[in-house]
Amino acid sequence: MTTNENLTMPAIARERLERLQAHNARIGVIGLGYVGLPLTLLLCGAGFKVTGFDIDEKKIADLQAGRSYIFRIGSDEIQQAREKGFQATADFSHISEQDAIILCVPTPLTEHREPDVSFIEKTAKSVAPWLREGQLVVLESSTYPGTTEELMIPILLDGSASGLEVQGRGPVLDKGVFYVAFSPEREDPGNMTVARKDIPKVVGGHDPIATELAATLYEAIFIKSIRVSSTRVAEMTKLLENIYRCVNIALVNELKVLSLRMGVDIWEVIDAAATKPFGFQPFYPGPGLGGHCIPIDPFYLSWKAREYDFHTRFIELAGEVNGAMPEYVVQTVGQALNRHKKALNGSRILMLGMAYKKDIDDLRESPSLTIIELLRREGAEVLYNDPFFPTVGRGRHYNLNMTCTPLERLEQYDCVLIVTDHSDYDYKEIVRSAQLVVDSRNATKGIVSDKIVRC
């Protein structure tokens, strides 16, 4: 879809559109984490008056004091936003003051690998009593197609204290209306190549007016908006993007295991294939998937597909392959120690890197958590070093309660295991000092040593 300049709008919607175009609308962002806080800063930088909402009182206190709690966002950026009028609060009554509200709340999985949409439900219930006529509500959380229409809109309608109706559900008679859209976040923590503002924003409204309002909002801070025909199309777009990555990472993970058995360097193979100027995009193997999207989003679609009596075999196979990688890493460590005439049981292992990818302070779904638990189960003593995490509390299934170990005297460990290839590490020195290095990220590329075992 493209901009519809001839779209007929009620007066209140036209007024909202003009305020968004002039960058003087009031915007509320709910959820001030890795998605919501960067979005907030972009909005502040464009001149909007922004109020951030979160249930974490510590985050609110930090932001009100001008402090950042995300590594790649400096406190100076928070202070600059504060000077432009940014406020953070846990008081949802301020929702009524906003022209647009953007929900950036988590959508994890349950223990049974099913969607946990409780954050969306709770947030919608908190927003509903404060809705007023003409407001725009945008959901950004990654989720299954139909969430906006089937889950969020009914909650907003049921809880509306003003008896509002949502635009796009047929005749509204004399009721006031609000507008609803979905626009998937495309945040990529640690990406220093593509600026946030240069990432196009996909927008799908519950009706054409909502699409236009949301697209106009995002065009104030992103290079362009990609208008699609519905919230379901926008929801499915996000899942396709992440399933595409999940499946291709599974492919190279499987080829990695085969290539190592064949004595072939899979990373060299990928680099060579990447020189083809068409028909190939490089993906790289690793110790398992992490982050807030790729390990989770495919299962949202698999779950929803069952409602339509459809089995997503490709998705589930990719999940199986990627999910087996932490176990493969642990097996490789055991085999490497065995060649040094040592048992995994009782060995001291220093794991380098806890974050799910290099140079970020994000632990969500990190394979490192699973690897630690598996190593401990085998009787190993596991310590870790990560410049972004002085401590680590909760693991996958129980509390790890670990403290960062200084990167010194590496010869005292039976094995140094590289799980996250942070740029700060001196890999030549690590190999020189350690007895044994197991590398799951190809961080030691170009270093020749019989101490290195790649997996």
Structure tokens at 17: 């559109």
Query: Which amino acid, one-letter code, is at 263?
Result: G
Rounded to a whole number of angstroms, the distance between the first and last alpha carbons of the chain is: 46
CA distances to 94, 140, 148, 168, 277 from 202, in Å: 27, 10, 15, 19, 27
Structure tokens at 94: 């301020």
Residue with tokens 């040593």: 449
Comparing CA positions, the residue from 340, 394, 319 lying closest to residue 364 is 394
Query: What is the distance between the alpha carbons of residues 190 and 421, in angstroms, rounded to a whole number?
Result: 13
Query: Which amino acid, one-letter code, is at 153?
Result: I
Comparing CA positions, the residue from 131, 137, 121, 118 lying closest to residue 183 is 137
Structure tokens at 136: 């725009």
Comparing CA positions, the residue from 266, 290, 319 lying closest to residue 386 is 290
DSSP codes, 231-290: HHHHHHHHHHHHHHHHHHHHHHHHHHHHHHHHT--HHHHHHHHTT-SSS-------S---
Q: Which residues pair with 452 in a beta bridge?
A: 437
Distance of CA 219 to the CA centre of its chain: 22
Query: What is the distance between the alpha carbons of residues 116 and 106, in angstroms, rounded to a whole number?
Result: 9
What b/e sequence results for 254-280 when a residue is b if at least 16 CB atoms lie within 10 Å of its CB, and e otherwise?
bbbbebbeeeeebbeebeeeeeeeeee
Query: What is the distance between the alpha carbons of residues 32 and 10, in angstroms, rounded to a whole number?
Result: 32
Of these residues, 293, 404, 415, 455, which one is catalytic?
293
Comparing CA positions, the residue from 30, 203, 57 lying closest to residue 123 is 30
415 is catalytic: no
- Active-site positions read 293
